[in-house]
Structure 1
Amino acid sequence: MAQCDCGATAGPLGVCADYYNTILAEEQLDPEMYRWHAVVVCVYLLQHPSRGHEKYLDGQFRWLQLYLDQGLDATLRLRAHQVARNNHRSRAGYDLAPLEPYAPLPPGGPPASFRTSFTDLPYGDGGFILDGHAAYGERMRTLAEATEVAWKRLGPGT
């Protein structure tokens, strides 16, 4: 059976990248599902850092902690704030202050495995929203928690 670079065994849709790409496609058709987009991206890239850019991992780790600490609405507010600041007319740039209270990414990663990964997500009639948006949101929270725990086990960030 195929294994993903995060340590997960492939599921019915394939490896984590197959799940991730399917989620991204479904988000385009479902604005309610899209609310978790930032969480999905952070979790995927923190579980598969070779798929992203190393210089952004610390910020993604802090975003994930913000989400777990303050919830989805706070994450969406910060995303809207960052988009407004990043507007070419604003020229204010990215605001790191809201993420400063959170632990930096620990060195020595990535973790070898995570207690849950994308291949653990159920998929069926209705795609990833087979049992509603609230249940999907809980699964995203579980993925986020598993990602945070695995990274924090590596030790304190620098």
Structure 2
Amino acid sequence: MTENPITARCECGATAGPLGVCADYYHQILSDEQADPQMYSWHTPVVLAYLLQHPSRAREKYLDGQFRQLQLYVDKGLDALLRVAAHQVARNRHGSQSGYDMAPLEPYEPLPAGGPPARFRTGFSALPVREGSFVADGHAAYGRHIELIAEATVEAWRSLQS
């Protein structure tokens, strides 16, 4: 028996939206980013939030760093996150140092034990899609939706510490 897409539940606890479950949204976002460089600006927080809301699709050993990066994004914004990412790429390109430079992420909390959270205040299947586009209302509105998903992700993981 096929599950009704309207009542389908995602790993993150969300119900399916018009495009399906979160994985359907995530894959559509990744596809759309290829044709829209401005939308691609939010690629890193999209990936971080998706993997933290759906950790079965992630490598467990990277989740702590991804959680810290998402906290950096929520705390200091997209430009700060992209600067840290560019620093890592430049560092790796020069080959002079091995491993990830955790110094920019040290102020942020480690990934709490006991996860993942059962639910998140908002997630990918709640993203508005109009006329087949995530950016029909503009890139700033899309960025704000990604920010809300990131905030909800950090909030839910932090709630495990209580």
Shorter-chain TM-score: which interval? over 0.9
The residue that corresponds to 1:40 in the other structure is 46
CA deviation string 1:94-115 (max 9, x = no partner): 2110001100000000000001
Amino acid of the structure 1 residue aligned with 2:97: A
What's the % identity of the aligned pairs? 66
- Structure 2, gaps ≥5 residues long: 1-6
Cα deviation for residue 125 of structure 1 reads 2.1
The residue that corresponds to 2:3 in the other structure is none
Amino acid of the structure 2 residue aligned with 1:150: A
Cα deviation for residue 126 of structure 1 reads 5.7
The residue that corresponds to 1:57 in the other structure is 63
The residue that corresponds to 2:155 in the other structure is 149
Cα deviation for residue 72 of structure 1 reads 0.6
CA distance in 2, matches of 1:149, 1:68: 10
Which of 83, 87, 102 is the aligned partner of 1:81? 87
TM-score of the superposition, structure 2-length normalised?
A: 0.92
CA distance in 1, matches of 2:133, 2:70: 24
Which of 132, 135, 154 is the aligned partner of 2:141? 135
CA deviation string 1:108-134 (max 9, x = no partner): 000000010100001122611110110
Amino acid of the structure 2 residue aligned with 1:69: D
Runs of 4+ in structure 1 off by over 6 angstroms are none
Cα deviation for residue 91 of structure 1 reads 3.6
Q: CA RMSD of the aligned region, Å?
A: 1.1
Shift of the 5–126 alpha-carbon distance from structure 1 to 2, 3 Å rule, reads closer
- Count, aligned residues: 155
- Structure 1, gaps ≥5 residues long: none
Cα deviation for residue 90 of structure 1 reads 2.4
The residue that corresponds to 1:92 in the other structure is 97
